Structure formats: C-alpha cells, structure tokens
A and B are shown apart, each in its own frame.
Chain A
Amino acid sequence: MQELIHRAKSLLESGEVSRVLGWKKGENVFDVEPAFFATAEELENFVYNGFCGANLSKYMIEASTWEGKTLVFLKPCDTYSFNQLCKEHRIDREKAYIIGVGCKGKLKAEKLGAENILDVQGAGYPDCSDTLKVTTLYGEQEVAYKDAMLERCHVCKGKEHQVYDELIGESVDTCDADRFAEVAKIEAMSPEEKFAFFQAELSKCIRCNACRNVCPACSCRKCIFDSTKFDSNQKANTTSFEEKMFHIIRAFHVAGRCTDCGECSRVCPQGIPLHLFNRKFIKDINNLYGEYQAGVDIDAKAPLTSFRTDDAEPGVGRG
C-alpha cells in the first residue's frame, strides 16, 4: 500500500496527474470509500486492502470532463469496465493514468458480521493472510479469507489487467467456482420454481437504484426510468410486476455490455443476487454467438450490435 501512496505522490508532484482516484480510510476498517485526492497530504488517508471492492471506473466519466489527467487505481476486474466505458466513448483514455493494482480477492464485510466488527487483521494489502482475525463487540473469531470473499471473486475472470499504464503488486488466483453454475441451476428449475425464486428475491427491492447508479454499464445521461414522460419513474413498487420489470429491463439494457463486474450485487442493500440476470445474458450470448467478454478488446465487434448472415436467431433456429 505504501508503494501505491508513494507512486501517487510522485505522479502528483511531477504534475503528470492532477488528482488521484482511489480509496479512502473510513470510520472502520471495512467502510472504505471511493475518493479523489488532490494533494500529498490527503493521500495519507489513502487505503488499499481487502475491503476496496468498489470499482472506480465509473467515476472516470466525470473525471474525464475535468482539466488534467486523473490517476486511477484499477483492480483487474475494474479494467474490463474501464475498457467498456472507453468503447462507449463515455470516458477518455487520455485523461486517465492507470495503475493496475494486484488483487487477492475482495471481502464482503457482511460475511464477517459487519455490524459488530471493531477490527479485522489480515485484510491488508499486499500482506493479507489466509485467515482473518476479526475482533467484534462480542468477542474474537477467525474466518478463512476465502469464506469472506465477494461472490464475484470466487468466479474471478482472471487477474490480468486489460488496460493499464503501469502495474503494482501481485495477485492471487481466487477462482474456485464455475461462473455459470448458479445460472445453470436456475435454468434447471421448473417455471414455477423460477418464478418463486425471483419473486422472493425481487420483492425485497426498495427501488433505491443503487444497482443502477453503481453500474458502469448504466452510464446514460438520463435513465429511461427517470423520465417523467413515462409511467415508470415511479419510485415505489406500485405492483409486484413493476419491481421485476425494472430489473429485467435494466438487464436487457446492459446485455452485451455488462462485464460482470458484480457491483450491482455488492451494493444491493437487500442482498438480491442481481448479477444472475446479467450472467444469464452472458451465458446465452456465449452459447449463441461464441465466447465474448465485454471489456477485453475495445475494437472487437460486440455480438448484439453487429450482424452476421450466419447469426443465430434464437427461437427460429440457425439462420
């Protein structure tokens, strides 16, 4: 971490970058917040540890409109989002100086019983340990690092940065599950079971829009769901249909562009596994149009925005 701070300070000092986009210490070890740093002094509060799950790519949309370059720290999975936003002309590659940071998996404080945590030992970077020592209001406990990881880390797309100016720090492979296993499980359900599953999950939705607002693929200047000319800018679930409609339409809107960064599920206050919708689309796209991972290659043609005469036509059969 000191290496990151040191490097950021020298890039600021040399004038190469005008500001730094990273993570800032919070009140507690786990409530790290995304932050812009303008001075070496402010960087004293910079932190990089197991709780820095937040994907900073989306903040680069705004930062791209400012004078000068922004030094942004990106984890391997964050770089997919960065690339995708470049592809969509929402951020300016020239306005970013990217330091790719190593990643050993990111933690979900909730899995450690966040509400009682006073301190966590072993979540630091680069020296995180296999076992986290958690001090809570009600005693100590040890938790395997792996058991406290975000879902997305178990199905990690790999620890290679897709775009960077320089790399700092080692990564550890955290992938220990099949990315599409959960989707396959739902696909195997009967229609009634599927409906019951999604009904139970989506009925928890409070329409806070956190999933949309954190989503790097949801970068529209004005969201259709915010349009006053349209009945859907209703903040409440007027009907049980509407909450489903919001999430399903959103999944359609980001299909083919979603990099599966997992931010939607990370931020949902009700713990709805929203990534499953997106992953279903990715799985289907892979099956129908060949393997495609959004955010790998800026110049690659995206399957849903290009046309080939031999394209699959689901429901019609191969064309």
Chain B
Amino acid sequence: MYRIAKANLNALYAAIAASKELYLPVRSAGKTNFAAWTEGAEVDLDTLKTVRSPKDAFFPQSENLYTCDRTDGKISITPEALQEKPFVVFGMKACDVRGVAVLDKVFLSEPVDSYYAARREKGIIVSLACSRPAVSCFCQTFGIDCAAPEGDVATWMAGEYLYWLPQSEKGEALTAELAALLEETDDAAVAEEKASIAAICDRLPLKGLSLENWGAAAADKNFDSPLWEQLYKPCLACGTCTFVCPTCQCYDIKDYSTGTGVQRFRCWDSCMYSDFTMMAHGNNRTSQLQRFRQRFMHKLAYFPANNDGMFSCVGCGRCVDKCPSHLNIVKVIKAFGKEGV
C-alpha cells in the first residue's frame, strides 16, 4: 500500500501525463465527465458518478475505422492506426471497472475487435473506491464491492491522502514509474475507509435488489409477459439510458464524406431508436414496446445466457438518475421479481 497527499495530486497527474495520456473526471460547464487531463483542468474526484461512463476510453462514442479514397475509379483503404500510446484512466469506480469486463466479453471474444483490443492493451485502469455511494446505486446486486474496486491500481480517498494499491502487473509498473511521488504505508486507513463504505452500503435503499426471475432462464419465459405493455408506456424512445450506460455496446457504422473520400466510422447506437433494426425491406422491431423489451432482455437475460451468467448491468444507477421519464432497469427488475411471470 502506498499513499500520496491529496495536495500533491496535481504532481501525480503531471507525472502520469508526462509519458501517457491521462483521462480522469473533469468538471466543465457544470457537469463532470471523463476528459483528458490538461494543466489547470478542474479535476473532480468528489462527484460520485460522471454523466457519461468512462467506457469512452476503450469504446469511444465515435471512432474512425478506415479512410477510403477513390482515384480514377480505384478504391484504396487506409485503416485507422490502432492505439499505440499507453494511457491511464484514473478514478474509475468499481461498477465502471466491471463494465469494462462486460465490454471485454463482447469485443475480445472471437473474432477480436482490434480497435478495442489495442486500447485494452494500452489502457491502465486506476480505480477509486466510492466514499459516498448514492441512493441509485445497486452494484451489490451484481456482486461488486465499491469499497474494493478491481483495476490495475485501486485507490481510496481517506483523510488528507489518496491511498494507492497496485493490483496487476500493469499496476505495479505504473507504481514503479511514480515511485518518487508515492510513499509506502500500512493499510489501516484503507481498512477504516472500507468499513465506513460498507456501513453506508448497508443502508442503501436498493440493497437486496434481487435478480430472481432474471438470468439465462428468463430468456424464454419473460419475453411474452404482459408486464412489458405496462412498463414501456412512458418511454420517450430517447437514448439517454444507453448512452450513459457503462455496458451498452451497440454500435452503428457510418460514412462521413471528407470531400475526396469517405471516412468510415463507428459510433454508439441505441436499441431504443426507431431505425435501429430498420432495413430497406422491413423492420423486425416496429414498436417501442419491442425496443424497450429488447434492451432489458438483453441486459438481464440474453447476455447472461450467452456469457456464463454474467449480467450486462453493473448497477451504476446512471439510467436511474437520468431517464427523463424516470423509467429504469430497477423498476423492470422489480416488476418481474414481484409478480413472477
């Protein structure tokens, strides 16, 4: 266990940024989101949840795949360079770190997505324990401990210090690079902080949220439930829930005209959007009920069925906080839990 005085964090950021890209929560125009660190950036480690999840660091909202040029009718393709520079994502919460594990299941399964794989290889996750979990948090439901986050390095804020614990080879290497700024210490303060977090977690209103009636077995039995008809009605068909979600991974592939050629890029897409499954000759999900059902069935039934029981939700609660109609996955989980099917 190491520590660094909070007052010295700026020096830590500068040291990391000297050789790597550094992404961390930055407050700008009244909201905190992960952004590249620059000298003078308003780093905000107190806001529990960034509006967007840090999944951007590995799976950006928009990224070029290749550029396509046409000369004399001949097409040539130049693939976008893969991530080469190492980077650090600092301040990821336990739920968001698990979110990356969910994305891994998708992008690192065969055939491997090389754009994502390169970022995973070059990316170093420095997680941060949640000192003040919120009412909308339910990571416990997915077996996540926000007091002991996964990641290459785990950190805790306690008193005047940030405590630092490498947890992987990458984490050890980063720690060695920053040795001049970190001092060794015992884990008494962290143990105390963990106990304090655990005490708060015990009081969270969503503690004990049960996934009974969900999981692989729900893939068949929940599909035709009349509950969907009641649940989807207020849905505005916007993409807020999908775009703030750390595990939503649906994407679209599109073209952007550069004038002389075409940039083919991919960008986040939302299963809530009306044209998501539309083809020239038809659409298999024409109603918002179907699209709404797809999102939750995917997270809570289809994904676990295809991934050894792992849910595609980490209980970060962003959708709970942000849905304009206050619909959310908790209401869906509970509706099925209560009434069975």
Question: Are A and B in contact, CB atoms below 8 Å, in the complex?
Answer: yes
Stretch from B140-148, B172-180, B325-333 at the A interface:
B325-333
**Which residues of A are found within 8 Å of B223, using beta-carbon distances?**
none
A236 to B56, CA, bound (A): 12
A235 at the interface (CB under 8 A from B): yes
Provide the A104-116 mask, 1 if CB < 8 A to any CB of B, else 0: 0000000000111
Determine the distance from Cα of A266 to Cα of B326 in the docked complex, in whole angstroms: 12
Partner-binding segment picked from B15-23, B250-258, B290-298: B250-258
The answer on a CB contact under 8 Å between B239 and A116 is no
Selected from B238, B255, B334, the residue in CB contact (under 8 A) with A214 is B238
Which residues on A sit within 8 Å (CB–CB) of B49? 115
- With A115-B49, A207-B243, A209-B239: A238-B135 Cβ-Cβ less than 8 Å: no
B275 touches A54 (CB 8 A): no
Does the CB pair A204–B33 fall under 8 Å? yes
- Tell whether, in the assembled complex, residue B239 and residue A231 are in contact, meaning their CB atoms are under 8 Å apart: no
Closest to A62 in B: B233
Known contacts A204-B31, A228-B275, A236-B61; is A33 also within 8 Å of B203 by CB?
A: no
Instruction: Choose, from A23-31, A69-77, A125-133, A296-304, the stretch at the interface.
Output: A23-31
Q: Which of B257-296 contact A (CB under 8 A)?
A: 257, 265, 267-270, 273-275, 278
Bound Cα distance from A23 to B326, whole angstroms: 11
Task: Decide: B325 and A270 in contact? CB cutoff 8 A.
Answer: no
Contacting residue for B325 out of A33, A115, A207, CB 8 A = A33
B5 contacts partner chain A, Cβ-Cβ < 8 Å: no
B residues near A26, Cβ cutoff 8 Å: 326, 331
Chain B 223-264 near chain A by CB (<8 Å), digits 1 or 0:
000000000011011111011100000001011110000000
- Interchain CB contact under 8 A, A213 and B62: no
C-beta contact mask, A2-43 vs B, less than 8 Å → 1, else 0?
000000000000000000000000111001111110000000
Residue A117 is within 8 A (CB to CB) of chain B in the complex: yes
Q: Which residue of A lies closest to B49 (CB)?
A: A115
Contact of B326 among A32, A200, A210 (CB under 8 A): A32
Q: How far is the CA of A210 from the CA of B51 in the complex (A)?
A: 14
- 8 Å CB interface, B40-88 against A: 48-49, 51-52, 61-62
Q: Encode contact with A along B301-324: 1 for CB under 8 Å, 0 otherwise.
A: 000000000000000010011101
* Chain A 209-229 interface mask (CB, 8 Å, partner B; 1/0): 110111000000000001010
- B327 nearest in chain A by CB position: A33
Specify the chain A residue showing the minimal Cβ separation from B288. A62
CB atoms of A206 and B205 under 8 A apart: no
A115 touches which of B134, B269, B324 (Cβ 8 Å): B134
A269 in contact with B322 (CB, 8 Å) = yes
B330 engages A116 (CB within 8 Å): no
CB distance from A141 to the nearest CB of B (A): 14
Check: B29 CB closer than 8 A to any chain A CB. Answer: yes
Question: Do B252 and A235 touch across chains, with their CB atoms under 8 A apart?
Answer: yes
Is A115 within 8 A of B135, CB to CB?
Answer: yes
Please give, as numbers and ranges, the residues of chain A lying within 8 Å of B136 by CB-CB distance. 115
Collect the chain A residues with CB atoms within 8 Å of residue B239's CB. Answer: 206-210, 235
Asked if B268 contacts A235 (CB within 8 A), the reply is: yes
Interface centre among B28, B237, B325 (most CB of A within 10 A): B325
- Contact A231 B28, CB 8 Å, known A115-B49, A236-B268: no
Interface residue B219 (Cβ < 8 Å from any Cβ of A):
no
Number of interface residues of A (CB under 8 A): 46
Query: Most chain-A CB neighbours within 10 Å: which of B33, B240, B275, B321?
Result: B240
**Interfacial chain B residues near A312, Cβ < 8 Å:** none
With a CB–CB cut-off of 8 A, which chain B residues contact A269? 51, 240, 243-244, 322
Given contacts A116-B132, A210-B240, A236-B61, contact A34 B270 (CB under 8 A): no
Tally of contact residues, B, Cβ under 8 A:
56
Q: Does A234 contact B (CB under 8 A)?
A: yes
Q: Decide if A236 touches B267 in the complex (CB within 8 Å).
A: yes
Cβ-Cβ contact count across A and B, 8 Å cutoff: 141
User: What residues of B have a CB within 8 angstroms of the CB of A137 in the complex?
Assistant: 132-135, 200, 203-204
- The answer to whether B208 has its CB under 8 Å from any CB of chain A is no
Query: What is the minimal beta-carbon distance from A70 to any residue of chain B, in angstroms?
Result: 12
Given the known A-B contacts A114-B321, A214-B236, are A27 and B330 also in contact in the complex, defined by CB atoms under 8 Å? yes
Partner of B62, one of A204, A237, A271: A237
* B254: contacting residue among A54, A59, A118, A234, CB under 8 A: A234
Question: Which single member of A238, A267, A272 contacts B324 (CB below 8 Å)?
Answer: A267
Cβ B240 vs Cβ A33 within 8 A: no
Bound-state Cα–Cα, A269 to B334, Å: 24
Which chain A residue lies CB-closest to B250?
A235
A233 at the interface (CB under 8 A from B): yes
Q: Is the CB of B275 within 8 A of A226?
A: yes
- Closest chain A CB from B196 CB (angstroms): 12
Interface residue B111 (Cβ < 8 Å from any Cβ of A): no
Q: Tell me the smallest distance from the CB of B17 to a CB of chain A, in Å.
A: 21
11 residue pairs from A and B, CB less than 8 Å apart = A28-B205, A34-B233, A34-B325, A35-B234, A116-B132, A137-B203, A204-B28, A204-B51, A214-B324, A234-B256, A237-B62
Closest 5 CB pairs of A and B: A236-B267, A236-B62, A267-B324, A115-B134, A31-B326
Further 7 A-B residue pairs, CB within 8 A, beyond A137-B132, A201-B29, A236-B268: A114-B321, A115-B134, A208-B239, A228-B275, A228-B278, A236-B265, A270-B51
Chain B interfacial positions (CB closer than 8 Å to A) = 28-31, 33, 48-49, 51-52, 61-62, 132-136, 200, 203-205, 233-234, 236-240, 242-244, 252, 254-257, 265, 267-270, 273-275, 278, 317, 320-322, 324-328, 330-331, 334
